[in-house]
Structure formats: structure tokens, C-alpha cells
A and B are shown apart, each in its own frame.
Chain A
């Protein structure tokens, strides 16, 4: 079955710097890659997603890239702010109802 590895598990950056979180997946049939943000004590919420027919997608300070050949996808946050501090989860799906999540990255943005 699908397996998603996520790195790093913890990331600390200075306010204004960029943050990059990387994920790899095992099933080459995966075609949908969402990213969720979970603030402390709150629910995971979708922040951006990408489908396998697209190599890159951007939404303001957030961008996601996908390399299908290498089975890698990454989240890039530019100009980080303290409110970006949260746990970020990558995920992959081959369609259907099964979405497989990575273990999460705890991002700290220091003011």
C-alpha cells in the first residue's frame, strides 16, 4: 500500500525566512497531494493541494511542487510569520476514499 515519508519532523525558522517541507510517496499511481495545517488544539485544515497533471502550484506565500519521476513533493512557505507556526501534514491519494498522511512537521517561526 501507499506510504508517505515527511521531513523534517521539526523545523525552526526566523520570521521572514522561508520554510521547506519535503515528502516522498511510494505508490506511483498516486495522483492527488493535499497539504494540511493543524494549529495547536485545532483541526487540520487544507491549505493547498496539487494534482499529478501539474508540476507546481502557488497561492500567495505558499507553493507546492511535485516531481512525479522522483515521487517527491514539497511545500514552500515564503516570508514566514509567527502565525505560520503549526504542524503541517502532507498526504497522497490514488483516488478513491483513502488518503495517506505523513507524520507531520512541526514548524516554529521565531519573531
Chain B
């Protein structure tokens, strides 16, 4: 049913581990996003890719490294994370920029990340 698929659904990693989150969209959209969702806080935009080019980078620590090999796939590479990085990481896609006719964000189910 979902147009945006994220794997894994849950991830537990130590502070010295390296892991990657994967996102795939089947909607033919041009833009893909990474958002961080922490309890009782607004969704925080991390990165945006449009047609495989990074167009937004919201002062995210370098321990988070995005990769967009094509318009359907988006990765978030993680290394030497901190416990405060534990959160739900949501991938989203949109046809075009916000405010245009096809602009709504379509979210995946997220990856629940726990850093121990």
C-alpha cells in the first residue's frame, strides 16, 4: 500500500557502530527528504534531495551522511552516534516544491533508532 518504504523498521546500535537507513519511493517523485522525529518536538528537516542533488542541509552533524544515488532511493549513513540521536527517522518524498499543486509530503513508516 505504501508508496514510500523504509528499512529497517527498528535499529539498535552502539555509539561506535556504523549503520545505514534505506528509503525507497515508488511514486515517481522528484524530491526526497530525511526528517527526525523526537518526542514532543516538531519534525526536524535534516536533508532534502531534488533530482538527486542536495538542496537543503539543516546544520546536521557530520555523523549523519545522506546519499541519493537516484531519484527513487535515499540513504542515511550513521556513524559514531550519540544517545540523544535516538529518535524516529522519517523519509518522505514529494512531486515538487512545497506550494505547487503536487507538493504534499508522502512519508514512510520510519526507522525507530535507539543508540546505546
Q: Which positions in A face B, CB cutoff 8 Å?
A: 4, 9, 31-32, 34, 36, 42-46, 49, 51, 89, 93-104
Contacts and interface: CB of A to CB of B under 8 A. Distances in A.
A97 B55 CA distance: 8
B33 interface: yes
Interface of B: 2, 4, 31, 33, 40-43, 45, 48, 50, 55-56, 90, 94, 97-99, 103-110
B107 A43 contact: yes
22 contacts: A4-B42, A34-B105, A36-B107, A42-B109, A43-B107, A43-B110, A44-B43, A44-B105, A46-B105, A89-B43, A93-B98, A97-B31, A97-B33, A97-B48, A97-B50, A97-B98, A98-B98, A99-B105, A100-B42, A101-B43, A103-B41, A103-B42
A104 B42 contact: yes
B109 A98 contact: no
Given A9-B40, A34-B104, A44 B90 contact: yes
Contacts, number: 67
Contacts of B94: 97
A31 B2 CA distance: 28
Nearest to B43: A101
Contacts of A43: 2, 4, 90, 107-110
B90 A46 contact: no
Query: What 7 A-B pairs come out closest when comparing CB atoms?
Result: A93-B98, A32-B99, A43-B107, A101-B43, A101-B42, A46-B104, A97-B48
A96 B90 contact: no
Contact of B98 (A89, A99, A103): A99
B107 A45 contact: yes
A100 B56 CA distance: 13
A96 B4 CA distance: 21
Contacts of A99: 45, 98, 105
